[in-house]
Structure 1
Amino acid sequence: MSSAPSAGIFQPLKADDPEVVGGYRLAAVLGAGGMGKVYLSYTPGGRPIAIKVIRSEFGEDPEFRRRFQQEVRSAERVQGLYTAPVIDADTEGAQPWLATAYVPGPSLAHAVAHHGALPPRSVLLLAVGVAEALTVIHGAGIVHRDLKPANVLLASDGPRVIDFGIARAADSTALTSTGVSIGTPAFMAPEQASAGTITPATDVFALGQIAAFAAIGSSVYGDGPSHAVLYRIVHEDPDLSGLPEELRPLVTRCLSRDPAERPELTEVIALCHAAAEVPLRQGEDWLPRAIVGSITERVHLLPAPAPTPPPKPAQVPAAPAPTPTERAPQPPAPSAPPAPAATPAQPAPAAQPGAATVPTGYATPPPYAQPPHQQPPHQQAPHQQPPYAQPQPAYGQPAYAQPPRPQPSYAQPSYAQPGWGQQSYPPAPTRPKRTGLIVTLSVVGAVIGLAVLGSLLPDDSKKNNGAAGSPGSGGSTASAGASPGKAAQKPVDPQPVEYKRIEMPGSHRLLLADNPPRPAEEPSGGGVQYGKGDLYYYRDSVFGNDEFGTANGKLVLLNNAEKGSLETCRQVTRFTEKIRLDQLTDGSQVCVLSSAGHIAVATYRGKSGAKESSQYITLDLTIWRNAEEAKKD
């Protein structure tokens, strides 16, 4: 990520650097480039990661943001042994960023600048690793288009290719057209430099340049102003005079001006194995010792994760300062107050059946409860205190200052102390009337009666339905086919999900099952192939017959009298698989019936202008997922 000397691998954060990006606390600066700045951070589990924060100028460019979102989605699918996988990203924020696994090794540019050219065996292992990385990247529908020594990191177990596809987001944006340089001209392919044509063969040309740079120690097209280097790439042959003989077949084939003459990646790997004296195998000894020492140094110098600030304490409103009166000494705690003089010792009552269920209102004995040693042990259950037995000093008044509570039917004798205006042992209350029981039984009987009456209703309903469905009745016959006692069950339709302003570039397709649906670029080569795309946009740059179609279902172009809905799409039968773009106007609706069982209404919102840097169509989608059974192939 950085080409700085070893002493400055990890630069401290400056005043204009953020402390946190997307929830990750930054620990150091790894480097900076034309598109942004790269920082070191850590995952919550302690794994180091590299976070590339895109320059705010790019984030303000709508075309860049659209492309950046597409490239990040594609990059997330790349999981190769020789790539730095994408860990996290934010494409929607004011300043987009991308986090990848951190590789503790120098870039190829840094290694060559400080340690010189690599031996031929290291170059062959480098080329094999980069070729494998490009195989995975191209398999995800991505062309790197900015493969250069700074984007190849040297790890202890092989190379790592980074920043794949990100350069496409900045290509032809408003910023690049006004002088912001993205990419290195010395490593562009001839067709890329002259006409801007990008194919997988473009990356193969860059691979040949990288192999030659690693073996010679400099670019085979020389240095100097960008326009001079680009001219030599397009019109002149590379200078391979310093290239070891065993590497010539590989480099010469990769640097062919005609993209069709360059080898496929599988052939690149075969050429590397053919040039090796012993079988190629990645391992700890694939690099010279000086570069291995640089890797070890980076591991030892790796800054510790930035400390996480302690959480701020909850803001509790400050209590008002006590007044002089409040600061006065408080009366002693009521744990041991003097017993009332008129209160003689009182024996505990005999335990009553079910007394344990009587709520006491306290988990511990009240302050004025009698000490346990004064209670006869055979008369009171352990830890059970009679309810409302003593006055509660916490309220500053006797417990019986309020009207006495009614006693339950198994009323216990009062435990109030003599001297409080009550008798010590009041007579047992009279037997209560069973009015509550009678009311309860009446309610239960009424409920049972209603239930019995309800169980009889289906039979009557069936008779009424049969009568209503008879000729001349004018009633409904919807339940005529239902089983006795059950209503006909209608399948529940899925809820629609809407997506607005989906921009689909040419030669892209999407799947209705994706949430959200993401246009993906078709693999290059072999003609136009849309695989299992539910929707695709084919841009015919020769004859201009652009098409909007499906390779995984059927389409129906609705007329103005038909409103796009799930019911409409189920009924129409004017099926097709392709619709010419000149048949659509802003607001045209197309039913999409996917073989996977999804149904959608695609509303066409127009096409990009002829002068725009990229050509795309804009759609609104309303999708009913799993609305039908999937059709088997």
Structure 2
Amino acid sequence: MSGTHPAELFRPLGQGDLVTVGGYRLAAVLGAGGMGKVYLSYTLGGRPIALKVIRPEFSEDPEFRRRFQQEVRAAQRVQGLYTAPVIDFDTEGAQPWLATAYVPGPSLAHAVARHGRLPLRSVLQLTIGVAEALHVIQGAGIVHRDLKPANVLLASDGPRVIDFGIARAADATSLTSSGVSIGTPAFMAPEQASAGTVTAGTDIFALGQIIVFAATGAPAYGDGNSHAVLYRIVHEDPDLSGLPAELRPLATRCLSRDPDGRPTPTEVIKACHALSAEPLRQGEGWLPQAVAGSITERLQLPEPAATSPSLPTAAPTATEFSGPPRPATAPAPAPYPLQPPAPAYAPTQSAPAGLAPTPRYPTPPPYPTPPPGHQTRPPSYVAPGHPVPPPLDQTGYPPATPQGSRPKGLVVAGAIVGAVIGIAVIGSLLPDGSAENGKNTGSSGSRGNSADNPASPADGSPGRAGSGLGNQKRPEPTPASYQGINITANYQVMLADNPPRPDSGGSNGVMYNHGDFYYYFDTLFGGKEVGTANGKLVVLNNAQKGSLETCREETRYTEKIKLDQLTDGSEICVLSDAGHIAVATYRGKSDSKDASNYITVDLTVWRNAEAPKKH
């Protein structure tokens, strides 16, 4: 393998990166986004995989875990030629993860940004591949919801659509931050942007956007502020002036504001074949030479990183089994021999239809390579934390201990244990207070003395029993402040996001989703209000100062506040069921001449200020 890899392709593992996940040794970082980080790893046979580790913020949300498990299982049914198949996953561990086949090709977004727009024939073949991928994805009951150039990879034998289904799981919590949002504004459909409605037609609208982007090098509705882009998507026609004339009828149908007026994936494929004078066949040579060169770069894969004590390893769960690492170019020194594992073996989950299950074995704890000259321990060596068995005699049984030769250490230890038990029994028979008169005199023998019982207050009142970690006071969180957040109508924010990023409420709308703080606009009657679907709100009086202490003490709870009740500077306590507390300072709403309808707030957030509420 070449030792030189472009930094933008394979970033070396750093101090904050994992070394192993689910037993897979990681080789490099492929990318990162709002939902998590993607690593390069290898299967037992040395096949590269892309392993996405979900962010902890999502992992803490039960609804996300439930939907993520559903979507991963649905994604296993997707076995199309233009999708990246699911290889392995863990939806129940401390940090859920998903492994798919590694695609050695740039994303459409990267290819266009680096090499410019694609020629007509490449655009037609791209469209056919993506449409066929959507046909298979939708056949499994999945709507992609976030189809965009960054989620379309250009392989040597055709495009690959990735990240299908995961967007719906994230939409359960909307815990998105910079990098990824559920439905990227520039590629949303009108019904998705205005009402949060998502159907199979939503993906076709995104496909129309991809056609325009690939053929012109620019989004169909332009760049700029997300609110302005969304307004143009909902109310204006796309800019198709730079699109080849042959593609305009197809792109126009895909970009219809009416979902029922958009073609099906099969109709898109037929239209592409009709536009080509020569038969369209996917394979080598479908991309311009410059873009194909990017594929060659991505075939120069780095080796897995050696385990280092300075780099973190994902904590294994009770059901975690390890996927074997890819063999290194040079054999590594053998670790200390361990006791052989139990012969029982079973994969962690069933493999996708048509694929054999990937064997996964228990992960042995890592041991450092012994220094030169160090004597290797004998085969009877047992891993730390396990009892060392006694040596066996010729009969195969441990030799009997001769009488009178018992180790002195055991005798002493037994005596100490017996003394402690005796003292405990005697103490339990004594009444409260001193042993002499049975009264609480406050002497050193009394139970009520605060000097002898740190858990008891000095005033003699009942204190917190014990001094274990479970009784320690929750540390006060450090506040994080964010200024000038514009929340579009029918959008919401989650306090766990850093920074909080407005997002749609999904197909259910913000009032029936899980948003911590939302802005709702009734398009039928014109009503405007702010609210929460995941906690409670309190409007503070003018004499009150918004703080963590104030929000904790308030009990005047509500879930919705009419916008006309707020003035510039009004402070609202937001207490989410996830345990986050915030003060939202209202800074006004958009002007009637503005292209978008939104409010502006400042947020001060205390994350994990309280224990999450169980539902």
Larger radius of gyration between Structure 1 and Structure 2: 1
- Give the alignment's TM-score, normalised by structure 2: 0.50
Which is bigger in relative contact order (C-alpha 8 A, separation at least 6)?
2
- Give the alignment's TM-score, normalised by structure 1: 0.48
